[in-house]
Structure formats: structure tokens, C-alpha cells
């Protein structure tokens, strides 16, 4: 039996509860009511909210211009395993007080990487055993695990797409350990975010070869986990740029093409991140719709960017209008396949009170709850669906239907056009759709 720590890190903060939209308590949910039924499921089941270990318990606010500003009490121990256990205690206290059920991690968020593969592996095993106990006593579950194959300088030219085979093999050893950790903790999914899989300059890059290596790498990682009995989903998390100039997993459409080409489409789905969609010059709802059409809407990394700049600022979600558009796609798709809503977001560098982490997650959860409620009402109480279907009604019968069924040749279309003569214009009614969105938000 492992002894768990009993120190309280977030003193003075109790269980966060739902108090409704008129509450003046900053440390209460105004809209996220875990037990409230919406479209046949309660909010807890719809969202499966998850806390990101790296942003919430590892990052301390450092930026290229200055050191960290958040001096966490759980970071004081000099022994790496003690520090890891303290961090785990703080993490589970936070997640439990939030009333969330899930968390996500990179391997070396849990414990500092060792000097050798063996030392790292031993450290991971020890902290995983500790976390397993914490999960059992709290009921908190692992939404997904992943590996950090981008921070260590050995990966500066990529991991699975490194031009040096030995770096690729090194990355495989690391991913194997991260998969083992995820499986040991009953992780429901495993994520691959491209990290440094991409290029800084095409001049020194054999892109085709690197992409084939990535396909082969993912296939063997998947085969390994399946052999061990892993039943969860593998997710790819698209991002178009940063840290490399061009990331191979550019956006949803690119990744789906890649998965199909490498015969990975049955095991892999997508983990979509709001700020990554923005960086790809897409909206989140676009990315979600693309994934949903392919049956690959797996999970969501919730955050937001900043429209005045072009990097991954990972701010907490607060845009209800945009999130409502995303929730319309979410409900239409019947929710996520295996994943949840992971807050891949960090408080700002000058947010230094211990309660700020709570306020941030409360705001994020309330944003999603408001958006879900609004989307559900738009679908049920407005003419939204009717109006959208009406735009396509010419395909519901006659020649339109015949075309959809593949029964018309190109010459048939030519003849129909001739018979029709010039056509009247039909309004797209965008403003009407926007007004409906506004009415219910
Ligand atoms: C970085 C990514 C990263 C992944 C996990 O931009 O969002 O945090 O979610 O490796
Ligand atoms: Ni992410
Ligand atoms: Ni990101």
C-alpha cells in the first residue's frame, strides 16, 4: 500500500458548486450544472471536463522575457520523486475540488525526465503507481496520456520524422513507456501531438520520406498498444505551425488524408484544439465539422487564441457565441467519440493568486455549458434546422435527387440548364442565421 500525501495546497477553497446564473460567488458555477439534462445526457457526460497537467501544475508563467511568476508550493522538494508526488497531490486536490472527473498528461509532466531511458522509466513507473492509488481513492480518471517528444534537444529535428533513424528509435522507446503508463492508469485514449514533426526549411527536408516514417511509426505504436490489449482511441492533434514553421499535422483535413493514406483510419481519430484551428485560418466549428464528417470527432482541447496575434496563447475559453457555433456541430455529430473537453489552457503570467486557476476553469466550464444550452435551444426552438434544410430542398426530389443518387450524366446537367434558362438569385440568409444565434445566446 502506498502512503498518499495529505497536505492541502489550495487552502480556503472548498468544493466548487453550481449556484445558478444569479450567484455572486466567483467560486461557483453559474451555468455548468453537472447533473442537468441537455439533449438526452447530463452535462457531466456531454463534456467529460479534463484538467491539463502541464498548464495547471507544471507551467509557472515563464515567457521569453522573464522567469516564472507562480511559485507553487508543490514544486519545493529537491528529490524529483517527492516533487512529483507533491504535484500529484495538488493536482488531485484541484481536480476533485473542481468536481471534474478527468485529467491528461505528458509523460514528463508527471515526473522530471531522468539521465537515462532506464532512470526515466523507473521514475515513471513509481509515479504511475502513486497516481493509480490517487485515481482509486478519488474516482478521477485519465482521459488521455501522451509523450513529450519535443522539449528535449535530441528532438530538435523532430521525433518520428527525424532524419536520423536513431532519434526515431529513441522517440519510440519514450512513446512505449508513455503508452505503458497510460494503459496502467486505464487511460481512455492516447494522443499524438506533432510536437516538432514538421520542418523549418524545405531546402534540407525530404518531406515525403519523413511523412512515410511518421505513418510507419504510428502504425507500430498502435500495433504495440493493441497487442497489450489497449481498447481506447488514438488521437492526432492537428496544429499548422509552432514550433516548426510547417507542422505536418496541419489541420483536420490534412490529418484525415494522412490517416487514410497510411491505413490508420480505423484506430485514429482527431483531438481538435480551438487555438490550433485559429492558427490554421479556420474556425473551430469548421475543424469539428470536417472531423465529424469523417467519423473522427474524437476529443477537444479547449482554449482560445488572441485575434491580434498569431501564436498559441492557450487562454481559457470565454467566447460564448463562437463556442455555441461549435456546440451546434457537437450536437449534430452526437458528441465526441471517446474523448472529452480538456482545458489545454493556462492562466496569464500575472494571474498569481491560487484561486485564479479555479476561476479560469469555472469560466471555461460555464462557457461550454452556456453554449451547449444555447445550441440545444437553437435546434429545438428555432427554425435553424428548417432554414438550413430549405436551402438544399432542390436536392430532395426530382432532378436534384437523381443527381445525388448518381443518376444524371454531365450531358443531362447540360440539358437541364438549357431548359431552365437564366435563374433568379436565392438569398443565403446569413444575417437571419446570425440573429437566431444571437437570440438564444
Ligand atoms: C500544443 C499542444 C499540446 C498537446 C499535447 O500546442 O496543444 O499541448 O495538446 O501535447
Ligand atoms: Ni493541445
Ligand atoms: Ni496548443
Residues paired with residue 20 on neighbouring β-strands, in sequence order = none
pLDDT at 2: 86
Pairing status of strand 341-343 against strand 297-302? parallel
User: Is pLDDT of 1 > 80?
Assistant: no
pLDDT at 255: 99
CATH numeric code, 17-381: 3.20.20.150
pLDDT digits (tens, 9 = 90+) for 106-129: 999 999 999 999 999 999 999 999
d(CA 235, CA 188): 11
Q: State whether the beta carbon of 247 lies less than 6 angstroms from ligand 1.
A: no
Residue nearest to atom 10 of ligand 1 (CA): 193
- Determine which of 99-103, 203-207, 310-314, 371-375 has the lowest per-residue pLDDT on average: 310-314
pLDDT of residue 425: 97
Given 107, 109, 267, 312, the catalytic residue? 109
Expressed in angstroms and rounded, the spacing between residue 146 Cα and the centre of ligand 1 is 9
Any idea how long the chain is?
441
| Distance between Cα 301 and ligand 2 center (Å) | 5
pTM for the full predicted model: 0.97
- The whole-chain average pLDDT of the chain stands at 97
Q: Closest-lying ligand to the alpha carbon of 247?
A: 1
Checking if the pLDDT of 359 tops 80, the result is yes
Reported confidence tier of residue 143, pLDDT bands at 50, 70, 90: very high
d(CA 137, CA 139): 6
Domain boundaries, the chain: 17-381, 384-440
The reply to whether ligand 1 has any atom less than 6 angstroms from the CB of 146 is: yes
Report residue 3's pLDDT band, with 50, 70 and 90 as the boundaries.
confident
Residue 18 dihedral angles phi and psi, to the nearest 5°: -80, 125
Contact call for residues 123 and 82 (beta carbons, < 8 A): no
Asked if residues 238 and 251 have their Cβ atoms less than 8 Å apart, the reply is: yes
3-state secondary structure of 208: helix
CA distance 227 to 179: 12
Residue 279, pLDDT score: 96
Active-site annotation holds for 246: no
CA–centroid distance, 303 to ligand 2, in Å, is 9
The verdict on whether 276 is a catalytic residue reads no
- Average pLDDT value for residue range 216-229: 98
The mean pLDDT value for 402-429 works out to 98
Given phi > 0 = left and psi -120 to 50 = alpha, else beta, which region is 247?
beta
**pLDDT mean over 349-364:** 97
- Asked whether the predicted pLDDT for residue 192 surpasses 80, the reply is yes
Could you tell me which residue, 6 or 246, shows the higher pLDDT? 246
Q: Does 314 contact ligand 1 (Cβ within 6 A)?
A: no
**Per-residue pLDDT at 176:** 98
Under DSSP, is residue 141 helix (H, G, I), strand (E, B) or coil? strand
State residue 56's pLDDT score: 98
> Residue 151's CB: how many other CB atoms inside 10 A?
14
Amino acid at each position: 500500500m502506498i502512503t498518499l500525501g495529505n497536505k492541502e495546497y489550495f487552502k480556503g477553497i472548498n468544493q466548487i458548486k453550481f449556484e445558478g446564473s444569479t450567484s455572486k460567488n466567483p467560486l461557483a458555477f453559474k451555468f455548468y450544472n453537472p447533473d442537468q439534462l441537455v439533449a438526452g445526457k447530463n452535462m457531466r457526460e456531454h463534456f467529460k471536463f479534463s484538467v491539463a497537467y502541464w498548464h495547471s501544475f507544471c507551467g509557472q508563467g515563464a515567457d521569453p522575457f522573464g522567469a516564472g511568476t507562480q511559485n507553487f508550493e508543490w514544486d519545493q522538494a529537491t528529490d524529483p520523486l517527492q516533487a512529483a508526488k507533491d504535484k500529484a497531490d495538488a493536482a488531485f486536490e484541484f481536480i476533485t475540488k473542481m468536481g471534474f472527473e478527468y485529467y491528461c498528461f505528458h509523460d514528463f509532466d508527471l515526473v522530471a525526465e531522468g539521465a537515462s531511458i532506464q532512470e526515466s522509466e523507473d521514475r515513471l513507473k513509481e509515479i504511475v503507481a502513486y497516481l493509480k492509488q490517487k485515481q482509486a481513492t478519488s474516482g478521477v480518471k485519465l482521459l488521455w496520456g501522451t509523450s513529450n517528444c519535443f522539449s528535449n534537444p535530441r528532438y530538435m529535428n523532430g521525433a518520428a520524422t527525424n532524419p536520423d533513424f536513431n532519434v526515431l528509435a529513441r522517440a519510440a522507446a519514450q512513446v512505449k513507456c508513455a503508452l505503458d503508463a497510460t494503459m496502467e492508469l486505464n487511460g481512455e485514449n492516447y494522443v499524438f501531438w506533432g510536437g516538432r514533426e514538421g520542418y523549418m526549411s524545405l531546402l534540407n527536408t525530404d518531406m515525403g520520406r519523413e511523412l512515410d516514417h511518421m505513418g510507419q511509426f504510428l502504425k507500430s505504436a498502435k500495433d504495440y498498444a493493441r497487442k497489450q490489449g489497449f481498447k481506447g482511441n488514438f488521437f492526432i492533434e492537428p496544429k499548422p505551425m509552432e514550433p516548426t514553421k510547417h507542422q505536418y499535422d496541419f489541420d483536420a483535413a490534412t490529418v484525415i488524408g494522412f490517416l487514410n493514406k497510411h491505413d490508420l483510419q480505423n484506430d485514429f481519430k482527431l483531438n481538435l484544439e480551438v487555438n490550433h484551428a485559429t492558427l490554421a485560418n479556420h474556425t473551430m466549428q469548421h475543424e469539428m465539422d470536417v472531423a465529424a464528417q469523417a467519423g473522427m470527432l474524437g476529443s477537444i482541447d479547449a482554449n482560445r487564441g488572441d485575434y491580434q496575434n498569431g501564436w498559441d496563447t492557450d487562454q481559457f475559453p470565454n467566447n460564448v457565441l463562437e463556442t455555441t457555433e461549435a456546440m451546434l456541430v457537437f450536437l449534430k455529430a452526437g458528441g465526441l467519440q471517446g474523448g472529452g473537453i480538456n482545458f489545454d489552457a493556462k492562466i496569464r503570467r500575472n494571474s498569481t493568486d491560487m484561486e485564479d486557476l479555479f476561476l479560469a476553469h469555472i469560466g471555461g466550464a460555464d462557457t461550454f455549458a452556456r453554449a451547449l444550452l444555447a445550441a440545444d435551444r437553437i435546434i429545438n426552438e428555432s427554425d435553424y434546422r428548417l432554414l438550413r434544410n430549405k436551402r438544399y430542398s432542390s436536392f430532395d426530389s426530382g432532378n436534384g435527387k437523381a443527381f445525388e443518387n448518381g443518376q444524371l450524366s454531365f450531358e443531362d446537367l447540360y440539358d437541364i440548364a438549357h431548359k431552365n434558362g437564366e435563374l433568379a438569385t436565392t438569398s443565403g440568409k446569413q444575417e437571419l442565421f446570425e440573429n437566431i444565434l444571437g437570440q438564444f445566446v
